[in-house]
Structure 1
């Protein structure tokens, strides 16, 4: 018994010590903010000029910030699958793809002429277009007859060429010629071989485009010189191509659209930049208008607007200096900043206006607002900053970028509100003096709510428990319905999406997506291809194995390479060239080997000799891995993997095969899984940081645990409401939870901190002093995020709606349940 009493006394003594430490910290902070208040009052113009000069400098950087929607920027740079995909794209060029779709409307010949002119134009754009994809690969492959020679002929030719090369040095011209002719005459189909080896441009002129069976669509596939993450290049080349094609189309007047990775990135970038500006302007106008309705003061509204603008400019300037771009998630930073800035500004303004209502001077009111309210705001800022900053330590750019930017933005928002906002009021204080300070909104509502809370606080707690259990059920259902479809988050009405759907319909393709398997030999290609044909989601399987003649295997390719090397050596022999030209055999022998009249094809021929395969084939099916050459096998699914979570089913079914797959769908799935896995880590990390910071601020363990439980309850209600409204957990809605923790903790901490300071009728004082600021702060933050709902990008619209639900949940939990619990504790 004595031991138990000793523990209780020790705990209480420890509580007193913690209270003393808290009072000591507050005294230190109080002296700092008192000094800051005096500084602002004595030097408002200097502070104003300082903020303006810094803002001008940061503005020069802020205006250069652009949205970069490149998917791989959201993944860790050191991820091995990303590195494999990047290496693969050096050859297949998926991340440099550009597709032009021409709608012929039955005018096939007209469409062909238009397509040829486009191809010619693309080929003339040096430095922009790397190559035009050859869509008639099997026919082009048959152009090279060497692969149709038998192995015995190839062995014999190789032997004869070796003998010829060893004996040619001392021969006369006539003996050399007769020996040369004798060697080639031993092959019966030598003339046929020569004919097939000769490339006739007229035979392959239509190979740079593909026509659908009914002729309603013609596709041109190009590969650009730069990757799609080079936004400066993308933003330059797409308008240039569109302008060039529009000029060509004046005489054809055929509709066309763009698709491919280039167009997707370009559209997302343009829409993202528009959404960024629209949300910034719309949210600023709406929150300042709402602020004006509450306080009815023009100067205060202008001051808040300018302070918010400064914090946004500084933060975007920081983005430009640190990252250079905003990604798909961090694009929402402007509304986060506006929400945080308004929260700080409203609490400062409320204190200022209350003092003005008591007929204090402007100087006295500003000094008291900074020295008193500044401390409580600073506590919330610290918690928010450390909560966001914890995300920056994750090895996951999708979260680390928005974590660091939000943390820095919160500091800038607090700085502008505590420094620039008061300086404006002081410089133009005569305009405040001319206006009658307005009393807070009528206290009748607060008084009624205080009475209601006193009477029904137990019932409120009981109802909250029931609501929590109900929403927990819906939360579980939401979290088990994770949406892996990233493409559903973008505008389905953009050109690239429409053309992709039209291609699927015209060419009867279920999905344009592909995954790739790499093989080390022709024999391995045959084995893997046969294995994949049993795959339940297998659509089209493409590889060199399907294009080469059926007799081609690794041995024949090796023989062809050997023969080609020897032929090249013979063709470079000066003596033979003179003899062949003298005896009129140039057209039969020399031109096929060295097509001097078609220098554009010479490089193509040489690449055939050097590698044994056409260059167009090498682009599609040959991948260099280190010092070795590997062959790619392309697998297209027989379902649209971007519908009904087919992406998850498709890739999980692939895991049954002991094969290593590479491709864009795999990276998409990996991103969604990383979001899912890292969000749990981020959620726990942010909660831990918030708990520690709240404990340091309020110096009460029970208060820190209570704030944490209120946050968890708010997120539970948010997820449940999202499920009832038809939202699903996806790339962006999962990110909402740590953002809500960072933003929502402010109101909880202020209520708890104020509660611990007051004695007597605590709840009545809390309702009177805090409800107006918390209500206006929540309304303005909700209004800021509402601007995202009206964007054309579904990703931002979902984020905005989710944040609105989350902030509303935090507000009602803080204003109703938390006050009810504190009321019961006081009893």
Structure 2
């Protein structure tokens, strides 16, 4: 009973505060103006940051490694300039003309536009191990001996046999896939050109990092401005240029997200205004509901500006969601105030009574939702953590704004003689349900019960989608073009990187990664590994001496006396054995620069190229395990760095934390309602429709083929926190003295319907987003609200009636909230 007395005192305090604000409206509105001005000032510099790196805490090794990479290496990725729509010779001329000039741009470190194929072709035998070189020497000796025999007129061969081959392709095959061959194109085109696509590309390495959106815009603008001033007509009719790569894709994807959030917020406002106009049939009522919501959002984002300074992919659309959730309080409060006024109460008494009971219910639901959102703050995933904190603050601020502003506004409009429109509570769909349910509650309970059991039985089939390409807008021109680049290069344009401090460390890292690749066999996710130290073969002096000896013998073989089909092999072998030893500094400049740190930085890198898509979460997680935690001989440990590892950590974190967060959300809701309602039984009853609808939603997802992902999984705790208040409002009203089911349900059910619809509106706007990740959040949330609406408006009241009639029939002394038998129409026959 002590909890009940506490709650009653709190109810009375809320009613008194509202009445005081009603009686002194100008004071309350002046305070509102000050708080709104402060919120606007604090939120003025808020920006959207959609970079995946910002979704993980700085303590993560993958984040720290990536920051080191960006400092030392300038980050990964390129600005890719593509020339499209010309013949191969014209495309090559375009590259020859543009590459040197693009390299002079202030934000470009270098331009990679040709493969180092000639260098690696010439020095190919230096990459062959000494034992295999001796095999080659033995074959040449055999051929030389055969040639001598053929030249001897006295020699008679008893059996016709083919001459010893000068083809070394079987030995070359052993070294296929090495970095020298892959980076050189393995004997292919010198330029990065695809004749069928009629496209050639240049890879521009920028001085800065693509993580800095402002810098990305600067370097892309510089390249675009340069290209716009060139006369491209000389490369043929229809020739054009396009830009893609990491920098361009980040700008375009940021633009999509920003546009989606702006459209979602605008659409949410329009839909909210339209629904409120339909709900209240009064423009002034719409204004009375929306002004506290708008003020609350400004206060909330003022807090965000102070606490975080930016919003991420998830928190960016919270304005639309919080707007819908906040309007729900206004529907309940204004609707209750209007009903009390129509019953003859004065404006101040109606305000006191509405905020005493309905306002307290709104506070309970806001507190419960806030605690549910705070369960997300337990996550190390910053997107979830910040979403939880901001949403929790927003829910409490929303109730505070209504408590401060709505009574004051009602006080003013009452003085001006405004009275609310009289509503016919006994008409409309909800009123029809109010009359139907007491007559058919058994059938309704049975049908919905069977349906819920059927849906819940399918919940185990729902799956998690790890493919991040499903969460990005792959229809963007820059994204579509980027996918064609890897095909032209012959390998991934964005490898992951292991930072090294010495040449010895480079070679050791390469050896370990190659050993892991060999150990995994065909299941390995590593395509190839490259490092400058590895591109400079060992034992070059010994190999050079052997190659000189081979060359002397090859030089004595007359190409004209060799069969035509092997003549090219002989000429090629003669050239390859002439190659001289080389050092790191003698590697082609275009190749060497790919491995060199940014200006002023020291150390080297090992580039690790994947043979799986680094947008596919499953493949990325496998790849991550293969390139992490390399144990060096000095006892130290190093790992690869790159955005692929960030994605893998995000997926692992969401998979690991989701069960814990969901349990925390359910428990926080339960204990919050238990404490505020003062009744364990009522808390369990209020939670029942939410838990059933969540379980049914998961089963429905399995039937519809919908999947969870690392973004839309946040919808589940959101639904828990935002749908439980419907049960609170029903229980609070039906449990009142002399409550009549039909009357209470018609009034409260209409408010609940409006609340659920306005809560869904914020998410409904995301259904029309271009970004698939935001789109999946909208789809899942609205499906959840639809399921909850059926459960809470049809199934839950039918269950309350069923339990109440059963208890009355068996002579129970207490009843379920909703009144006794005399308060209901006759049960169904």
Q: TM-score range by the shorter chain?
A: 0.7 to 0.9
Task: Verify the 8 A CA contact 1:356 1:437 in the aligned structure 2.
Answer: no
Go from structure 1 to structure 2 and tell me whether the alpha carbon gap of 1:706 and 1:23 turns closer, same or farther (over 3 Å shift). Answer: closer
CA deviations on 1:138-197 (whole Å, 9 max, x unpaired) are: 65789999x99xx9xxxxxxxxxxxxxxxxxxxxxxxxxxxxxxxxxxxxxxxxxxxxxx
Residues 747, 814 of structure 1: 8 Å contact kept: yes
Q: In structure 2, do the counterparts of structure 1 residues 134 and 634 end up closer, same or farther at CA, with 3 Å as the change threshold?
A: farther
Compared with structure 1, are the counterparts of its residues 694 and 543 closer, same or farther at alpha carbon in structure 2 (3 Å cutoff)? same
**Contact 2:610 2:623 (8 Å CA) reproduced:** no
1:382 shift after superposition:
1.3
Aligned in 2, Cα 1:654/1:696: closer, same or farther, shift over 3 Å? same
Render the CA deviation track for 1:542-599: whole Å, top value 9, x for unaligned.
Answer: 413797354457999xxxxxxxxxxxxxxxxxxxxxxxxxxxxxxxxxxxxxxxxxxx
Aligned residue for 1:184?
Answer: none
Secondary structure at 1:136 match in 2: coil
Question: Which residue is equivalent to 2:819?
Answer: none
2:447 is the counterpart of 1:463? yes
Q: Distance in 1 between matches of 2:396 and 2:104?
A: 52
Task: Call closer, same or farther: CA 1:673–1:458 in 2, change over 3 Å.
Answer: farther
1:347 aligns with 2:321: no
User: Which residue of structure 1 aligns with residue 477 of structure 2?
Assistant: 495
* Equivalence for 2:9: 28
Please name the residue that 1:669 is paired with.
648
Matched residue of 1:467: which SS? Answer: helix
After TM superposition, the structure 1 stretch with the greater mean CA deviation from structure 2, 372-381 or 21-30, is 21-30
Aligned to 1:808: 786
Mapped partners of 1:208, 1:441: distance in 2: 79
Local SS of the residue matching 1:727: coil
Residue 232 of structure 1 is matched in structure 2 by 214
CA pair 503-753 structure 1, distance change in 2 beyond 3 A: same
Moved more, 786-795 or 522-531: 522-531
Superposed displacement of residue 745, structure 1: 1.6
- When residues 238 and 39 of structure 1 are mapped into structure 2, their CA distance, relative to the original with a 3 A threshold, is farther
How big is the shift at 1:307? 2.6
Deviations for 1:238-284, whole angstroms, at most 9, x for unmatched residues? 34433332233665674333322222221122222212221111101
Q: How does 1:33-72 map to 2 (within 5 A)?
A: 33-72=14-53
Q: Distance in 1 between matches of 2:217 and 2:481?
A: 20
> Which of 641, 658, 667 does residue 679 from structure 1 map onto?
658
Tell me which moved more, 65-74 or 420-429: 420-429
TM-score when scaled to structure 2? 0.75
Q: Does 1:223 align with 2:205?
A: yes
Deviation at 1:675, TM superposition (A): 1.2
1:432 positional shift: 6.1
Answering whether residue 635 of structure 2 is matched by residue 635 of structure 1, we say no
- Does residue 86 of structure 2 align to residue 106 of structure 1? yes
What pairs with 1:223-302 in structure 2 (closer than 5 Å)? 223-248=205-230, 254-302=239-287
Tell me the alpha carbon deviations over residues 277-303 of structure 1, each in whole angstroms, 9 at most, x when there is no partner.
Answer: 211111011111111111111111123
For the structure 1 residues 784 and 548, does the alpha-carbon distance in structure 2 shift closer, same or farther, using more than 3 Å as the test?
closer
**Separation (CA, whole Å) in 2 of partners of 1:614 and 1:76:** 40
Matched, 1:797 2:775: yes
Using the TM superposition, give the Cα deviation of residue 539 of structure 1 relative to its aligned residue in structure 2, in angstroms. Answer: 7.0
8 Å CA contact retained: 2:79, 2:204: yes
User: Which residue of 2 is the match for residue 772 of structure 1?
Assistant: 750
Which residue in the other structure is 1:200 paired with? none
Is residue 347–residue 373 contact of structure 1 (8 Å, CA) maintained in 2? Answer: yes
Distance 1:505 1:522, change over 3 A: closer
User: Partner of 1:708 in structure 2?
Assistant: 687
1:476 aligns with 2:454: no
> Contact 1:352/1:366 (CA < 8 Å) preserved in 2?
yes
In the superposition, relative to structure 1, how do residues 411 and 231 fare at CA in structure 2: closer, same or farther (>3 Å)? farther
1:52 and 1:661 map into 2 onto residues whose CA distance is 52
Q: Cα distance, 1:642 vs. partner? A: 4.0
In 2, distance between residues paired with 1:122 and 1:63? 38
Q: Deviations over 1:582-628 (max 9, x none)?
A: xxxxxxxxxxxxxxxxxxxxxxxxxx99989777656544689xx99
Q: What does the per-residue CA deviation read over 1:314-343, in whole Å, with 9 as the maximum and x for residues that have no partner?
A: 222322222122212222211221121111
- Range that drifts further, 489-498 or 522-531: 522-531
Answering whether residue 730 of structure 2 is matched by residue 745 of structure 1, we say: no
Once residues 752 and 258 of structure 1 are traced to their aligned partners in structure 2, the CA distance between those partners, rounded to angstroms, is 60
1:229–1:372: structure 2 CA closer, same or farther, 3 Å change rule? same
- RMSD of aligned residue pairs (Cα, Å): 3.8
Q: In the alignment, is the contact (CA less than 8 A) between 1:310 and 1:416 conserved in 2?
A: yes
CA contact (8 A) 2:21 2:408 kept: yes
Alpha carbons of structure 1 residues 628 and 469: separation in structure 2 relative to 1, 3 Å: farther
For 2:374, which of 389, 396, 415 is the aligned residue?
389
Q: 1:523 to 1:424 in 2, by over 3 A?
A: closer
The whole-number CA distance in structure 1 between the counterparts of 2:629 and 2:39 is: 53
- Asked if 2 retains the 8 angstrom alpha-carbon contact of 1:520 and 1:631, the reply is no
- 3-state SS of the aligned residue for 1:76? coil
1:77 aligns with 2:58: yes
Alpha-carbon shift at residue 424 of structure 1 (Å): 3.2
Q: Distance in 1 between matches of 2:694 and 2:733?
A: 24
The change in CA–CA distance for 1:505 and 1:544 in structure 2 (over 3 A counts) is: closer
Q: Which residue of 2 aligns with 1:586?
A: none
Residues in 2 aligned to 1:696 and 1:732: alpha-carbon distance in whole angstroms: 32
Paired residue for 2:798? Answer: 820
Q: What are the Cα deviations for residues 335-376 of structure 1, in whole angstroms up to 9, with x where unaligned?
A: 221121111111111112212323544444334333442222
- What is the CA distance between 1:710 and its match in structure 2? 2.9
SS in 1 for 2:473: coil
Task: Name the counterpart of 1:366.
Answer: 351
The structural deviation recorded for 1:724 is: 3.0
- TM-superposed CA distance for 1:785, in Å, is 1.5
**1:320: which partner in 2?**
305
Alpha-carbon distance between aligned partners in 2 of 1:315 and 1:552, rounded to the nearest angstrom: 67
Instruction: Indicate conservation of the 8 Å contact 1:521/1:630, yes or no.
Output: yes
Q: Secondary structure at the match of 2:79?
A: strand
Secondary structure of 2:461's partner? helix
| Cα separation, partners in 2 of 1:92 and 1:367, compared to 1, 3 Å | same
| Number of residue pairs matched by the alignment | 691
Going from structure 1 to structure 2, the CA distance change for 1:552 and 1:137 (only over 3 Å counts) comes to farther
1:443 and 1:218, CA in 2 relative to 1: closer, same or farther beyond 3 A? same
Change in CA separation of 1:415 and 1:523 when aligned onto 2, cut-off 3 Å: closer
Q: Which runs of 4+ in 1 moved over 6 A?
A: 140-145, 553-556, 608-615, 652-659
Structure 2 CA distance, aligned partners of 1:323 and 1:362? 41
1:527 and 1:28 map into 2 onto residues whose CA distance is: 70
Distance in 2 separating the partners of 1:742 and 1:208:
60
Contact 2:425 2:431 in 1 (8 A): no
1:419 aligns with 2:404: yes
Give, in whole Å, the separation in 1 of the partners of 2:797 and 2:487.
Answer: 59
Deviation at 1:677, TM superposition (A): 1.5
Q: Deviations over 1:39-90 (max 9, x none)?
A: 2122212322332343234224435322211011112221113323333444
Structure 2 gaps, min length 5: 131-188, 544-581, 632-637, 806-829
